[in-house]
Amino acid sequence: MQLSREDLLESYRRMKIIRDFEDFLHDEIAKGEIAGFTHLYAGQEAVAVGVCEHLSDDDKIVSTHRGHGHCLAKGCDVEGMMKEIWGSREGLCKGKGGSMHIADVDKGMLGANGIVGAGAPIAVGAAIAAKIDGKDENGNLKVSIAFSGDGACNQGTTFEAMNMAVVTHAPAIFVFENNHYSEHTGFEYAVGTDKDIASRAEAFGMKVWRADGTDFSAVHDTMREVLEYVRAGNGPAAVEFDTERFYGHFEGDPQRYRAKGELDRIRAERDCIKKFRETVTEAKLLEGADLDKIDAEVASRIEKAVESARSAERPTAEDVLVDVYIDY
Amino acid sequence: MARKMYRDAVRDTIFEEMKRDPNVVVLGEDVVGGMGTAGGPEAIGGIWSTSGGFYEAFGPDRVIDTPISESAIVGAAGGLALSGKRPIAELMFADFIGVSLDQIWNQIAKFRYMFGGKTKCPAIIRCIYGAGYNAAAQHSQSPHGILTGMPGLKVVMPSTPADVAGLMRQAIRDDDPVIFMEHKALYGMKGEVPDDPDFTIPFGHARLTRAGQDVTILATGMMVGMAEGAADKLAEDGIGADVIDLRTTSPLDEEAILDSVEVTGRLVIVDEAPPRCSLATDLAAIVANKAFASLKAPIEMVTAPHTPIPFARELESAYLPNPDKIEAAVRKALAYN
């Protein structure tokens, strides 16, 4: 189904926000400005946006250690996230979480997660909650989505979660983003099931889909089908998106595991944003100038977010003790 | 007041709270029992008989019989709690925290803090724990010490049916994650339980079960009855003991402990777990640090040894603390000058 001009512009804007967010961070981290471990999502934007464009705040997602894209696509505040990554007490999590634990439960974003594979069981719990709450006036269930990579697909927690979702008939969707690397190990080595993740979900009794994760409209169209199926109460489903990671596992990763010229090739041939731009301008759905305007607007928005993060209030030693419990 | 068993206090309190609040849901292995069998739902009704009748009363959406998947059970409880529900997850044996520890330790305990205080996680993890059934090394342990050391969790260890009722209701209505430790050897214990449908016992308030001037004995769960047995025997010789049931190890009622030690000057700590990096050593450190001037003798600890739990009856008996060992420890503390 062809998206409206407004929807296309918005999708592009969201993908571009993620790309610039990550590219800026890449530079800032290299300057030594940011503490801790950061895992960038650049390259996979079409998945986060193509999935989350279908969701409302009442639909839940659980993300991964590579979570910035999912957070931004689900509506987390750009400045709040940037401040969090800078460790400010004005950050989305008051500087307590940082890059790996960004969450905004009011937006249905139940957290990035530092433990690979830990998110899927949590997503199933949220899906069971959605099932208890029942269908809305249009006969649709709210859904809960577990984002996992080709690394998390090897964790027992992911298997337990898939089986439990099937057994409880919960409206859970397992979105597997296969970026071909679990940390520094190749997908072809680490995934034993004939280089195929979706077949694992299929083996648990789920209906599955597969699509090119660098093709925004393929992601978006696939997710429309998946969501129609799951919202109607048919139980859980799974999707595998083939995608690309433009940066290393973490910032500072020398990426010696990449083939010679690999990064140049995937940036030339598999860049979801570049492909989106080419597709929509060739089909005359949008003008290059429309997209250039968004590029400028987004770049300045991210730059401002970085500026605001730099000068945002720092947490104090007293803050350490706050928010462990509600009442103790 | 109604006289009932410890296990029925668990079951009845959850049942009443499920009637009161539609957001309360239970999940775990065999909490319905018999799903997918010829016997059908509730053929068993939970192996500990703590969820009988739930399925019939509340249906499959709120009484969720799960596959054997402890990580997914605890993780799902976390997801339910972040989505506005009040899940009560059952770990059939507390020993299974090993399988689900990431979800307990890295997830539900930390959501609120990691997310900057902007969410709550009102999940209960029921852990059926303790020795006494000759169930050997993987079905008899008391892992409360590990859990007490995890910031973000509250840890509850009731020792009587009344405390089960009051503390379980508090746990269900509490907005923080709670580890609810039920001692399997106490399930058949009978006692009076208040009928008040709002009867709660606040966390962090210890219970003085025996009063005396000569020694303080600290205990939890099944150890409370043993400490009382020792205290009653010592009383025949004119030795008075304060027996303090901690009720919750996190939060901890430090004030009750320190106030008592200030009077008695002698302390015996009873703990069913092995001694290293344990509840016992933690309590000893707190008292040594905060009531050093009051102490008239070294702190005595009656604990399990630093071994796995053995199977044979003689071995398990030798492994566990008992009233005689507690009495001997008290006499040793009293003999010190």
- pLDDT tens profile B295-329: 999 999 999 999 999 999 999 999 999 999 999 99
Answer yes or no: is A319 within a domain: no
State the Cα torsion B133-B135-B136-B140 to the nearest 10°: -70
Answer yes or no: is A317 within a domain: no
Cα separation, A96 vs B114, whole angstroms: 5
In the predicted structure, residue A264 carries a pLDDT above the cut 80? yes
Give the ranges where chain A is alpha helix by DSSP (H).
Answer: 5-30, 45-52, 68-73, 78-85, 119-133, 156-168, 187-190, 198-203, 216-231, 262-269, 272-282, 288-311
Inter-chain CB proximity A122 and B82 less than 8 Å: yes
Cα separation, A148 vs A129, whole angstroms: 20
Answer yes or no: is A229 within a domain: yes
Assign residue A33 the CATH number of its domain. Answer: 3.40.50.970
Distance from CA of A123 to the nearest CA of B (A): 6
Inter-chain CB proximity B79 and A62 less than 8 Å: yes
Tell me whether A162 touches chain B (CB under 8 Å).
no
Cβ contact B286:B257 at 8 Å: yes
Domain ranges of chain B: 2-193, 207-335
From first CA to last CA, the distance across chain A in angstroms is 53
Tell me whether A132 touches chain B (CB under 8 Å).
yes
Cα separation, B133 vs B55, whole angstroms: 28
Contacts of A97 in chain B (CB under 8 A): 114-116
Could you say which of B139, B144, B183, B205 is catalytic? B139
What pLDDT is recorded for position B100? 97
What lies within 8 Å, CB to CB, of B111 at 6+ separation is A103, A111, B78, B82, B119, B121, B152
Q: Which domain covers residue A217, as residue numbers? A: 5-312
Type of residue at B24: V
CATH hierarchy code of domain B2-193: 3.40.50.970
**Quick one: DSSP state of residue A105?**
G
- Sheet with strand B154-156: strands edge to edge: B63-66, B24-29, B86-91, B124-129, B178-183, B154-156, B248-250
Using 50, 70 and 90 to split pLDDT, how confident is the model at A8? very high
Inter-chain CB proximity B83 and A60 less than 8 Å: yes
- Give the pairing type, strands B300-303 and B267-271: parallel
Using 50, 70 and 90 to split pLDDT, how confident is the model at A2? confident
Using 50, 70 and 90 to split pLDDT, how confident is the model at B45? confident
- Write the pLDDT tens digit of every residue in A228-257: 999 999 999 999 999 999 999 999 999 999
In the predicted structure, residue B278 carries a pLDDT above the cut 80? yes
Burial class of residue A322 (count of CB atoms within 10 Å of its CB; 0-12, 13-18, 19+): middle
Interface residue of A89, A106, A132 to substitute, partner B, most B CBs within 10 Å: A132
Answer yes or no: is A326 within a domain: no
Cβ contact A120:A157 at 8 Å: yes
Query: CA angle, corner A17, sides to A12 and A20, nearest 5?
Result: 120
Interface residue of B69, B120, B205 to substitute, partner A, most A CBs within 10 Å: B69
- Closest alpha carbon to B201 in B175, B160, B154, B164: B164
Three-state secondary structure readout of chain B: CEEEEHHHHHHHHHHHHHHHCCCEEEEEECCCCCCCCCCCCCCCCCCCCCCCCHHHHHHHHHEEEECCCHHHHHHHHHHHHHCCCEEEEEECCHHHHHHHHHHHHHHHCCHHHHCCCCCCCCCEEEEEECCCCCCCCCCCCCCHHHHHCCCCCEEECCCCHHHHHHHHHHHHHCCCCEEEEEEHHHCCCEEEECCCCCCCCCCCCCEEEECCCCEEEEECCHHHHHHHHHHHHHHHCCCCEEEEECCEEECCCHHHHHHHHHHHCCEEEEECCCCCCCHHHHHHHHHHHHCHHHCCCCCEEEECCCCCCCCCHHHHHHHCCCHHHHHHHHHHHHHCC
Inter-chain CB proximity A156 and B71 less than 8 Å: yes
Interface residue of B31, B114, B173 to substitute, partner A, most A CBs within 10 Å: B114
When the pLDDT of each residue in chain B is averaged and rounded to a whole number, the result is: 97
What pLDDT is recorded for position B210? 98
- Mean local confidence (pLDDT), B108-114: 98
Answer yes or no: is A89 within a domain: yes
In the predicted structure, residue A196 carries a pLDDT above the cut 70? yes
Q: Give the count of domains, chain A.
A: 1
In chain A, whose CA is at the least distance from the CA of B119? A105
Interface of A with B in 66-125 (CB under 8 A): 84, 91-97, 101, 103-106, 110-111, 113-115, 118, 120-125
Contacts of B173 in chain A (CB under 8 A): none
In chain B, whose CA is at the least distance from the CA of A158? B72
What lies within 8 Å, CB to CB, of B238 at 6+ separation is none
Nearest to A128 among B64, B107, B117 (CB): B64
Nearest to A92 among B102, B107, B116 (CB): B116
- Write the pLDDT tens digit of every residue in A13-71: 999 999 999 999 999 999 998 999 999 999 999 999 999 999 999 999 999 999 999 99
Domain B207-335 has CATH 3.90.1010.10: no
Q: Is A61 helix (H, G, I), strand (E, B) or coil?
A: strand
What pLDDT is recorded for position A1? 67
- Positive or negative: CA dihedral A243, A244, A245, A246: negative
Cβ contact B273:B143 at 8 Å: yes
What pLDDT is recorded for position B46? 86
In chain A, whose CA is at the least distance from the CA of B177? A325
In the predicted structure, residue B131 carries a pLDDT above the cut 80? yes
Inter-chain CB proximity A168 and B152 less than 8 Å: no
Using 50, 70 and 90 to split pLDDT, how confident is the model at A183? very high
Contacts of B115 in chain A (CB under 8 A): 93, 96-97, 101, 103, 105, 111
**Quick one: DSSP state of residue A81?**
H
Cα separation, B130 vs B132, whole angstroms: 7
Inter-chain CB proximity A157 and B75 less than 8 Å: yes
Inter-chain CB pairs, A–B, below 8 Å = 157
Cα separation, A6 vs A53, whole angstroms: 13
B306 counts as catalytic: no
Answer yes or no: is A54 within a domain: yes
What lies within 8 Å, CB to CB, of A130 at 6+ separation is A59, A60, A141, A142, A143, A144, A170, A171, B83
pTM, full prediction: 0.96
- Positive or negative: CA dihedral A180, A183, A188, A191: negative
Say what percent of chain A tops pLDDT 90: 96
In the predicted structure, residue B166 carries a pLDDT above the cut 80? yes
Cβ contact A191:A153 at 8 Å: yes
Contacts of B87 in chain A (CB under 8 A): 125
Inter-chain CB proximity A97 and B115 less than 8 Å: yes
Inter-chain CB proximity B251 and A328 less than 8 Å: yes
What pLDDT is recorded for position A33? 85
Interface residue of B85, B91, B115 to substitute, partner A, most A CBs within 10 Å: B115
Cα separation, B243 vs B207, whole angstroms: 8
The Cβ-side half-sphere exposure at A91, using a 13 Å CA radius, reads 28
Contacts of B79 in chain A (CB under 8 A): 60, 62, 110, 121-129, 144
What pLDDT is recorded for position B337? 85
In the predicted structure, residue A194 carries a pLDDT above the cut 80? no
Measured in whole angstroms, the distance separating CA A10 from the mean position of its chain's CA atoms is 17
In the predicted structure, residue B19 carries a pLDDT above the cut 80? yes
Query: CA angle, corner A67, sides to B105 and B121, nearest 5?
Result: 35
What pLDDT is recorded for position A156? 97
